[in-house]
C-alpha cells in the first residue's frame, strides 16, 4: 500500500477512496468521542495516509450522536451511521467502509495510536490482520469481512471470536494466541519447560 503525499490526500480520497477506514463503535461515549475522533484524524494525517472515520451507533442512549454531528461539520473525513447497530457496529461499519484497510475500535477503549503505524507496516509486509489486544484490530477489509460477519460481542470477546474465525479460515493474524492444546499436552508443557531450564 503506497503512501500518498499529504498535499494530494483530500483530492485523491474523494476520487478513489481512502486507504484506511477507521470504524469506531460508539455507545454512550459522549465524554470521549470528540477527543478520540480528533486524535485519530491528527494521527493519520501525521502518517500521511488518506482515511475516513466511520462512527457507528452501537445503541448509544446519551449525546454521543449529537457530539458526532458537531464534529462532522469540522471533520470532512467523518461519516456517521446513525441507525441503531447495537452489537453489530463493526459489521455495519466495515460493510459501508471504503478503505482497503479497516481499523476496528470501540469508542470507550484507549487507542494507543503509536502502534498503528507499526500495524499498517505489517499489513504492507503481507500480513492480513493485526490484533493489538484491548485496543483495536487492523485488517485488510475485503479479506476479513467474512470474519467480521461471524464475529460478535463487545471488546475482548469480539477480539477472541475474530481471532478464532481468522484461524479457521487460515488467515494470518499477528497478535494471535497459539491454538489451544489438547489436555495431555497442556499438562506436559510446564513439565517440559521445567526440564529444559
Query: pLDDT class for 99, splitting at 50, 70, 90?
Result: very high
Q: Which residues contact 196 (CB under 8 A, 6 or more apart)?
A: none
Q: Which residues contact 120 (CB under 8 A, 6 or more apart)?
A: 1, 20, 47, 49, 101, 138
The answer to whether residue 1 is domain-embedded is no
The answer to whether residue 47 is domain-embedded is yes
The answer to whether residue 50 is domain-embedded is yes
Q: Which residue has the higher pLDDT, 190 or 47?
A: 47
The answer to whether residue 173 is domain-embedded is yes
Per the CB < 8 A criterion, the answer to whether 136 and 104 are in contact is yes
* CA 76 to the chain's CA centroid: 20
Q: How many structural domains comprise the chain? A: 1
The answer to whether residue 76 is domain-embedded is yes
Query: pLDDT class for 176, splitting at 50, 70, 90?
Result: low
List pLDDT tens digits, range 140-155.
999 999 999 988 877 7
pLDDT value at position 130? 94
List pLDDT tens digits, range 22-81.
999 999 999 999 999 999 999 999 999 999 999 999 989 999 999 999 999 999 999 999
Per the CB < 8 A criterion, the answer to whether 102 and 147 are in contact is no
pLDDT value at position 15? 56
CATH number of residue 19's parent domain? 3.90.550.10
Helix axes 155-168, 141-150, angle to 10 degrees: 110
For the chain, what is the total number of helices (H) and then of strands (E)?
8, 7
pLDDT value at position 128? 93
**pTM assigned to the model:** 0.80
The answer to whether residue 43 is domain-embedded is yes
Per the CB < 8 A criterion, the answer to whether 37 and 78 are in contact is yes
Parent domain of 10: 6-196
pLDDT value at position 12? 45
Amino acid at each position: 500500500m503506497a503512501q500518498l503525499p499529504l498535499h494530494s490526500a483530500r483530492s485523491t480520497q474523494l476520487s478513489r477512496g481512502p486507504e484506511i477506514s477507521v470504524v469506531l463503535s460508539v455507545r454512550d461515549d459522549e465524554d470521549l468521542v470528540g477527543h478520540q475522533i480528533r486524535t485519530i484524524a491528527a494521527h493519520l494525517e501525521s502518517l500521511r495516509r488518506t482515511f475516513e472515520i466511520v462512527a457507528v451507533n452501537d445503541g448509544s442512549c446519551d449525546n454521543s450522536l449529537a457530539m458526532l454531528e458537531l464534529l462532522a461539520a469540522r471533520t470532512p473525513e467523518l461519516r456517521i451511521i446513525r441507525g441503531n447497530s447495537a452489537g453489530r457496529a463493526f459489521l455495519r461499519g466495515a460493510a459501508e467502509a471504503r478503505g482497503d484497510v479497516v481499523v476496528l475500535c470501540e469508542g470507550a477503549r484507549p487507542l494507543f495510536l503509536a502502534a498503528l503505524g507499526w500495524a499498517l507496516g505489517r499489513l504492507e509486509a503481507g500480513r492480513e490482520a493485526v490484533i493489538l489486544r484491548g485496543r483495536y484490530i487492523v485488517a485488510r477489509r475485503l479479506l476479513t469481512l467474512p470474519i467480521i460477519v461471524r464475529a460478535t460481542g463487545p471488546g475482548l470477546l469480539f477480539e477472541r471470536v475474530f481471532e478464532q474465525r481468522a484461524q479457521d479460515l487460515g488467515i494470518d493474524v499477528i497478535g494471535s494466541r497459539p491454538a489451544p492444546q489438547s489436555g495431555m499436552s497442556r499438562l506436559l508443557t510446564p513439565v517440559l519447560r521445567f526440564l529444559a531450564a
